[in-house]
Amino acid sequence: MEFAVITLKLITPLHIGKGRCGILMRSHGFVPGHLLSYALVNVIAKQNGAQDSDFTEALEIVRDNVRCGPLFIQEDEPNKVLLPHKYQQRIENNYLIASNHVTLQLENRASVEGALFEVEAISAHPLRGQKPGAQTHLTGGIWYYKNECLADRLSEWINQCWLGGEVKIGFGRVECESLKPAEAYPGITGKCDGKGLWLDKGEYLPGPALDGVIGAPLRPWVGRLYDEKKGFGRRFSPPELVRMDGRVEQAGCFLPATTENGFGCWKLNK
């Protein structure tokens, strides 16, 4: 496989579901790898006809040819990558916004009792910091095969992706600014090649990991999947136990997983 660093520009706010707290629909401050993978599946399937069989085939294409790692907020000066655990307070202060919403009754357009909620999201323009009002950028890594399935269209497909939730109100629009070969993953110590991300014992691995890390509690990790009857995002994957932002237990090579449970999470490439 080839490894490249990808940089995306946020065109609209981005909601990455982190669960609810009262009326607040919380958002992660980074983009887990499975979201970009599933967004690519959606784009490819729509171009091929948008039938159920097209989505199944597109999922196999992505699983066989692409491995998407997590994306992190990138600041221009001093070219800093905001890792979710290390810079949590900075992300919350400078980049997270919230907007109020209410569910309406179809008959009279009156609000449904108890249906007020607030959606948290990564802003397309930072609120504070060194450059308030500038464009928000995300950066991460992607492994892929150069073959006829991709046909050098990866950047084109990524430009058509909508990431995260609340796309019905325009969230999740991105633009691919660059996709360049590299030897290092943004914000992570270690070397990258076609086999994966190589890390030494004790090094920090941001994002969810299925195995190979310690120093962080196990937590359930679920994702929203396609349901044949209800549509996209209406079915939850079975929970997979992961460690978020842990330390590498033994030196090894990590790649994003392609199994349905834990899709996009870091996994030792044995």
Q: Mind listing the pLDDT tens digit for each residue in 14-34?
A: 999 887 777 777 899 999 999
Which residue has better confidence, 240 or 230? Answer: 240
The pTM of this model reads 0.90
Residue 112: pLDDT band with limits 50, 70, 90: confident
Q: Identify the band that residue 45 occupies on the pLDDT scale cut at 50, 70 and 90.
A: very high
Q: How many residues does the chain have?
A: 270
What is the distance of C-alpha 35 from the center of its chain?
A: 4
Is 110's pLDDT higher than 70?
yes
CA distance 138 to 68: 13
- Whether residue 61 is predicted with pLDDT greater than 80 in this model: the reply is yes
pLDDT at position 80, please? 87
Bridge pairing between strands 96-104 and 17-21: unpaired
Rounded CA-CA distance 256/149 in Å is 20
Distances (CA, A) of 184 to 4, 17, 198: 9, 28, 9
Instruction: Let me know: does 61 contact 153? Beta carbons within 8 Å.
Output: no
Structure tokens at 44: 């490819």
What does the pLDDT read at residue 94?
93
Q: What is the pLDDT of residues 246-255, one digit of tens each?
A: 999 999 999 9
Q: Which long-range contacts (CB under 8 A, 24 or more apart) does 19-23 make?
A: 23/116, 23/117, 23/118
Query: In the chain, where are the structural domains located?
Result: 2-268
Distances in Å between the alpha carbon of 178 and those of 7, 95, 107, 110? 5, 22, 47, 45
Q: What tens digit of pLDDT does each residue of 129-177 get?
A: 777 888 999 999 999 998 877 767 888 899 999 998 777 777 889 999 9
CB atoms within 10 A of CB 229: 6
Task: Output the pLDDT for position 147.
Answer: 80
Cα separation, 19 vs 132, whole angstroms: 28
Residue range 2-268 forms a domain whose CATH class is: alpha beta
**Percentage of residues in the chain with pLDDT exceeding 90?**
59
Highest mean pLDDT among 24-38, 92-106, 199-213, 228-242: 199-213
Per-residue pLDDT at 41 exceeds 70: yes
pLDDT for position 21: 77
Which letter, b or e, does each residue of 5-31 get, where b requires 16 or more Cβ atoms within 10 Å of its Cβ?
bbbbebebbbbbbeeeeeeebbbbbbb
Better pLDDT: 7 or 238: 7
Nearest CA to 141 out of 250, 66, 64, 78 is that of: 66
